[in-house]
Amino acid sequence: MKARVTVTLKSGVLDPQGQAIAGSLKSLGFANVGLVRQGKTFDLTLDETDPERARAAVADMCEKLLANTVIENYAIEITA
């Protein structure tokens, strides 16, 4: 079983990396760029056959390691 976790900053949390990227894009001539927010993805392979158990395990992984839940949100996609 495969899972993709997407971790993004909660709204309202300052994103200096995103701001730097937006500035670089503008200096490269992309004038129509507004806000840029950077996040992370984790593609996991799991030795699990039950999608619900896989989702629960991945959520636990997010809570314990993959996301800083004080400032980040996470979204989980499970694929067979």
Query: Cα–chain-centroid distance for residue 33?
Result: 21
| 35 binds a second copy per the rule CB under 8 A | yes
| 28 binds a second copy per the rule CB under 8 A | yes
| 42 binds a second copy per the rule CB under 8 A | yes
Nearer to a second copy, 6 or 78 (CB): 6
Nearest to 63 by CA among 3, 2, 7: 7
Give the total of residues touching a second copy (CB under 8 A). 32
Among 10, 13, 33, 69, contact with a second copy (rule: CB under 8 A):
33
In this structure, the number of other CB atoms found within 10 A of the CB of residue 16 comes to: 8
Distance, in Å, from the CA atom of 13 to the CA atom of 65, rounded to the nearest integer, reads 19
